Structure 1
Amino acid sequence: MNRDVLHGDVAVIGGGPAGALAALLFARQGRHVLLFEARAEGEVIRDARALALSAESQRHLAEAGGWPAGLPATAIDTVHVSQQGCWGRTLIRAADVGLPHLGQVVDYAALTAALDAELAAAGVDVLWGCRAEALDTLAGFARVRYHGAQGAGAATARLAVLAEGGALIDTLAGIHRDEHDYHQTALLAQVRFDAPHRGVAYERFSQDGPLALLPYGDGCMLVWTRSPADAEALRDGPPEVLAAALQKAFGERLGAVRSVERPATFPLRLRRASRVTGRRVALIGNAAQTVHPVAAQGLNLGIRDAVTLARLTAGAADPGEPALLARYAAARKPDTRAVIGFTHGLMRVFESRDPLVGVARAVGMNLLDALPPLRRRFAGHLVFGLGGDV
């Protein structure tokens, strides 16, 4: 059935962490926010990902009410970077940026549930089980046409914020997406070792692809970049085969691998929108860009998108005013460009099997470790953004 047209100040499409944060920030400004989320209300989230959030991202979420006390998370105090088969390593510590922790690791499902609860408490008008099917942007407002369990409907708002990376982006005038397929797959698994992690996150550039071991409860969350065939074989094969491969790539820093559980995979692609604004529309999070998970910068980048957009439109009678959206696009450009260049370049540098390149990588890591000002600057970029304004 058709519903009456809904009206709001801001319409947010996509209720993941970046979209939910944007909705909360706009609601805190006293704006009427409509949030379109394809999930049904209370739907159990089946997502194997653990999110590595910087201390700055955690602060933004907490200030918006999306990181309640008691949210189960594991602190990252140190990042240990090394490469297999060559000397050289870097240690980045929380003390380098004057913070108690560099960041936190939290379940995607746990963070999403906390944000859902805060959306209800903040009075955000969430349209659960509604999928946005079209977005028309006119001179004075944007119109969202959607379909849900109760039929089709439409909504208008002064600003539409697109926070999901679906096909809706491709329908926006003047905006297209560039894509690079890494022909790689991320393999995720929960891992336990003989020794405790002690708050250390490991970034290890192994001969079979970069891997991260994030502190996760009393174990670690593995994120290993492999070829699609290797990732699927390790996912579907006996756990002891994956355990042996990980032990060989990672070494004995945490002792023996005791168990590997719940392996899952997802393909890796770089996507970037040619523009992050259009008439009456702004792109944030996965709508604006998806990046390689190396260095765990993707969601942190999306959170900075949401915070910047809300800050630059605060107090404006019309949050979709072209001049404000132009300021948002200009403000986010340095950070986005730097993060994409950093993660993409890191993959290219560490893909090389040239021994001389390996030596150069080792020298670079040792220099970073030996020069405190350089290390502090690098750590600050990881926590607060690269070239960003937030």
Structure 2
Amino acid sequence: MQAEQQPQVLIIGAGPAGLSMAAALADAGFASTVLEQAPLAQIADPAEDGREIALTHRGMAVLQQLGAWQDLPPEQISPLRRAHVFDGSEPRFLGFEPGEPDAAGQLGALVPNHWLRRIAYQGALRRAGLIQLRCEARMRSLSLQADAASVTLESGETLRAPLLIAADSRFSNARRLAGIGAEMRDFGRGVIVCRMAHEEKDHEATALECFHYGHTMAWLPLNGRQSSLVLTMDSQPLQEMLAWDEARFTAWVQEQSLGQLGKLQLIGPRHHYPLVATYAHRFAAQRFALIGDAAVGMHPVTAHGYNFGLYGVQTLAGLLKGAADPGDAALLQRYAAEHRRATWPIYQGTNAVVKLFTDERPGARLLRRGVLALAGRLPPLKAAISAQLTGKPWRPPLPKLPSLPDLPFFKRPLNRP
């Protein structure tokens, strides 16, 4: 993949956010060089990692605009029509459905993470004239000057461009070297993700979020009678569970699932990830911008992490389109402000939900039941939450006004000359 001209943008990280950013910038007319420390084989043919990404309507729209959505095989797209939230073993649940009827009648869709990485690479390949991908390129240092940003590689080579974008994970080295701190929230918990088959009951494209005491089980509906289990618990018992054989693990999951999906069978490997959320103190600096997890790394409970990356790509590329200087300070600050407005409330709200629903004290248990009951009885609140889940705009309903003929003014006779 060779660029035909000197890059106007340097991008650190060839994950789905970094490559999508390069594609969006190419569509806006900017040439970029993407620097990635992993070998090309890992980028071109990413391995299955167990993660299923819930995409909002806006997230899917961004992928469609980039032409990436069209690269997904239909069997890799699982519709998400409803979500049910349970507290402990309570049979009652708080349900969410699309706020407004749409063609698909969906909250969103689920796509394997490794497929999102694959289509991002394919999109970059299609724009090879404006995108250069350099793998096994390790950054030693960076410099942000008034007229350009520069990156020095471990090989000693230095690259310069008017704008440098960091997309190198929530533990971003580029962010640190640029002097930007981040709020880090280590939840002291981890996640096991795996696929389970359930022959007896159909999930009906419904996600289940079960806040049990001591652990959380999320069931994400996949095509066929399969679901992705996202099991969250404290790190110490989780480490012990990772050593269990498949039979013991499946028996435990079967018991904890309370029969919601019938008899279960483990049909793939188990993957483990630590839970750490991050939020950068700033999203932009001189000749520098953050996107993806380098800007906002989310707890997975509300499934917004990857969507926020796509929102950032859309916002930044839209602001830079037509700009004479992609590193223009005013445009970068506008991006930072808009991306903060889009992410900060959901980031804080997600962390508050996690804190409440993982607190095992009696008072917290009572409060969380009250929160679920209140949300269920207030349709506007449910509609607002559903809008956040889908990424679709929501406005509070206006009070119903009487029709014009019933107003007193219209009942008065007109004064004619």
TM-score between the two structures when normalised by the length of structure 2: 0.85
Q: Which region of structure 1 is more displaced relative to structure 2, 184-193 or 227-236? A: 227-236
Q: 1:183 aligns with which of 170, 183, 188?
A: 188
Measure how far apart 1:330 and its partner are.
1.1
Structure 1 match to 2:93: 89
The number of residues matched between the two structures is 378
The superposition leaves residues 329-362 of structure 1 with CA deviations (integer Å, 9 ceiling, x where unpaired) of: 1111222211221111011111222444334323
Do residues 241 (structure 1) and 252 (structure 2) align? Answer: no
Is 1:96–1:379's contact at 8 Å kept on the other side of the alignment? no
In 2, Cα distance between equivalents of 1:372 and 1:293: 25
Q: 1:65 aligns with which of 62, 67, 71?
A: 67
The superposition leaves residues 93-151 of structure 1 with CA deviations (integer Å, 9 ceiling, x where unpaired) of: 1354646222222122212111111101112221123233322111011112224xxx4
In 1, Cα distance between equivalents of 2:93 and 2:278: 30
RMSD of aligned alpha carbons: 2.1
Q: 2:280 aligns with which of 239, 251, 273?
A: 273
1:335 partner SS? helix
Tell me: CA distance 1:228–1:353, structure 2 relative to 1, closer, same or farther (3 Å): closer
In 2, Cα distance between equivalents of 1:357 and 1:85: 16
Tell me: CA distance 1:253–1:289, structure 2 relative to 1, closer, same or farther (3 Å): same
Is 1:234–1:241's contact at 8 Å kept on the other side of the alignment? no
Partner letter of residue 226 of structure 1? M
Structure 2 match to 1:51: 53
1:80 partner SS? strand
1:82 partner SS? strand
The superposition leaves residues 305-342 of structure 1 with CA deviations (integer Å, 9 ceiling, x where unpaired) of: 11111112221111111111111111112222112211
Is 1:239–1:261's contact at 8 Å kept on the other side of the alignment? no
Structure 1 match to 2:135: 128
Unmatched 5+ stretches in structure 1? 1-5
Structure 2 match to 1:20: 19
1:242 partner SS? helix
Structure 2 match to 1:3: none
Is 2:71–2:119's contact at 8 Å kept on the other side of the alignment? no
In 1, Cα distance between equivalents of 2:136 and 2:12: 12
Partner letter of residue 111 of structure 2? V
Alignment of 1:200-215 (within 5 A): 200-215=206-221
The superposition leaves residues 258-316 of structure 1 with CA deviations (integer Å, 9 ceiling, x where unpaired) of: 33531111111122221111110000111112121111111111211111111122211
Structure 2 match to 1:261: 268
Q: 1:76 aligns with which of 77, 80, 103?
A: 80
Structure 1 match to 2:400: none
Is 1:84–1:250's contact at 8 Å kept on the other side of the alignment? no
Do residues 303 (structure 1) and 305 (structure 2) align? Answer: no
Is 2:40–2:135's contact at 8 Å kept on the other side of the alignment? yes
Tell me: CA distance 1:367–1:375, structure 2 relative to 1, closer, same or farther (3 Å): same
Structure 2 match to 1:10: 9
In 2, Cα distance between equivalents of 1:348 and 1:16: 29
Measure how far apart 1:385 and its partner are.
7.4
In 2, Cα distance between equivalents of 1:7 and 1:291: 35
Partner letter of residue 137 of structure 2? C
Is 1:18–1:163's contact at 8 Å kept on the other side of the alignment? yes
Mark the structure with the bigger radius of gyration: 2
Tell me: CA distance 1:337–1:386, structure 2 relative to 1, closer, same or farther (3 Å): farther
Do residues 116 (structure 1) and 121 (structure 2) align? Answer: yes
Is 1:86–1:362's contact at 8 Å kept on the other side of the alignment? no
Is 2:82–2:206's contact at 8 Å kept on the other side of the alignment? yes
Q: Which region of structure 1 is more displaced relative to structure 2, 50-59 or 68-77? A: 68-77
Do residues 30 (structure 1) and 35 (structure 2) align? Answer: no
Is 1:207–1:249's contact at 8 Å kept on the other side of the alignment? no
Measure how far apart 1:365 and its partner are.
2.2
Is 1:45–1:109's contact at 8 Å kept on the other side of the alignment? yes
2:41 partner SS? coil
Measure how far apart 1:70 and its partner are.
4.2
Q: Percent identity between the aligned chains?
A: 25
2:55 partner SS? strand
2:152 partner SS? strand
Q: Which has the higher strand share?
A: 1
Partner letter of residue 194 of structure 2? A
Is 2:20–2:123's contact at 8 Å kept on the other side of the alignment? no
Is 1:77–1:94's contact at 8 Å kept on the other side of the alignment? yes
In 2, Cα distance between equivalents of 1:67 and 1:158: 30
Partner letter of residue 28 of structure 2? Q
In 1, Cα distance between equivalents of 2:213 and 2:87: 8
In 2, Cα distance between equivalents of 1:248 and 1:260: 17
Is 1:133–1:168's contact at 8 Å kept on the other side of the alignment? no
Is 2:214–2:360's contact at 8 Å kept on the other side of the alignment? no
TM-score between the two structures when normalised by the length of structure 1: 0.90
1:261 partner SS? coil
